[in-house]
Amino acid sequence: MHSEVSTVASLDLRKEKLLDLYSTMLTIREFEEAAQDLYTRTLIPGMLHISVGQEAVAVGVCAAIRENDYITSTHRGHGHCIAKGADVGRMFAELFGKADGYCRGKGGSMHIANPDVGNLGANAIVGGSIPIATGAALSAQLRGMGQLAVCFFGDGALNQGVLSESMNYAAIWKLPIIYACENNGYGEYTATNAVTAGNIIERGEAFGVPSTAVDGMDVLEVYRATLAAAERAHAGDGPSFISFQTYRYYGHGMSDRDRAYRTRDEEKEWRQLRDPVDRYASWLIANNHASREELDRMEAGIKQQILDGIEFGKAAPYPDPGEVTKHVYCD
């Protein structure tokens, strides 16, 4: 049994858009599950942090901004990358360390970037992408191109000083930026409320930045809140701060298997009552936007797309050792 998602009446979304939200969430879900499986079979090197459970935030936010708008991501950034238009084959190639990956195999899971669609990259440093997005927003403002920047970061970055510094600049200069906090309740292995004082949205309110808390398991609510913030930014009215309450179903990383810091009952409750993919599918069917058969066909197609992407990544060549410093340092 899944609780209802929000009403779509005031959003005036066409069926094609509604189904695209579902398709992208499901693509992220299938990609992450596949990546985890490949990692456990030692086919993916390095580190891996998956975002199963958090799909609605990535999809709702990226659907509400323009194609040429910027995003910056985090160490848990596969979903952001896919939602911003990445090809899953090239993403798998990157995870495999292959030359056909977005960073020619040098970025791996935590540093995928796709600047062609405004994705300025994931970042392994907690809070490290915040000033990058703020700088991108300043650039957009100075160039007068009508773009904005979205900065994804987790609740673990709320206590980083660079967030306050960046919000201060953004508020003073009315930069076109959305600070999007994916609050999944845990900073690595520690509950957020054990280390973060006060109300989260007060971080933005202290600088006069319009701030709101949103159900991050409801893709339509995420879309609605982001659309309002994007309209503010594009109108020249400055930054916004949104805290999306969400949840990661698995551990912090691949070594975090026991998750002793939380109970299995808690995880079960989030999965059964608030899963963003299942909730939205039920809503689409209940409101006659799609049939179960239609969604099943979509799922089958996405599963095949993921399998094809894995094969593409496996078959891709490794980069030539001679280019080890290419695209790493500026000439």
- Token pair, residue 9, equals 């009446």
pLDDT digits (tens, 9 = 90+) for 223-264: 999 999 999 999 999 999 999 999 999 999 999 889 999 999
pLDDT digits (tens, 9 = 90+) for 156-168: 999 999 999 999 9
Q: How confident is the model at residue 31 (pLDDT cuts 50, 70, 90)?
A: very high
Number of neighbouring beta carbons within 10 Å of residue 258: 7
pLDDT at 73 over 80: yes
Dihedrals phi, psi of 324, to nearest 5 degrees? -60, -30
Higher pLDDT, 81 or 327: 81
3-state DSSP assignment of residue 114: strand
What is the pLDDT at residue 256?
85
94 touches 101 (CB < 8 A): yes
Q: Is the pLDDT of residue 324 over 90?
A: no
pLDDT of residue 79 exceeding 50: yes
pLDDT score, position 1: 44
CA gap 312, 52 in Å, rounded: 23
Query: Tell me: the pLDDT tens digits for 172-226?
Result: 999 999 999 999 999 899 989 999 999 999 999 999 999 999 999 999 999 999 9
- For the stretch 121-130, pLDDT in tens is 999 999 999 9
What is the reported pLDDT for 10? 52
Q: Kindly report the average pLDDT of the chain as a whole number.
A: 94
Range in 2-6, 44-48, 286-290 the model is least confident about = 2-6
Mean per-residue pLDDT, 75-81: 96
Structure-block tokens of residue 273: 């009552």
User: 330 pLDDT exceeds 90?
Assistant: no
3 pLDDT above the threshold of 60: no
Collapse the DSSP code of 244 into the 3-class scheme (helix H, G, I; strand E, B; otherwise coil) and give the result. strand
Share of the chain above pLDDT 90, in %: 89
Q: Which domains does the chain have, with CATH numbers?
A: 15-311 (3.40.50.970)
Q: What is the pLDDT of residue 328?
A: 79
The β-bridge partners of 183 are 245
pLDDT beyond 90 at 323: no
Does residue 46 have a pLDDT over 80?
A: yes
The torsion angle over the Cα atoms of residues 49, 54, 55 and 59, rounded to 10 degrees, is: -110
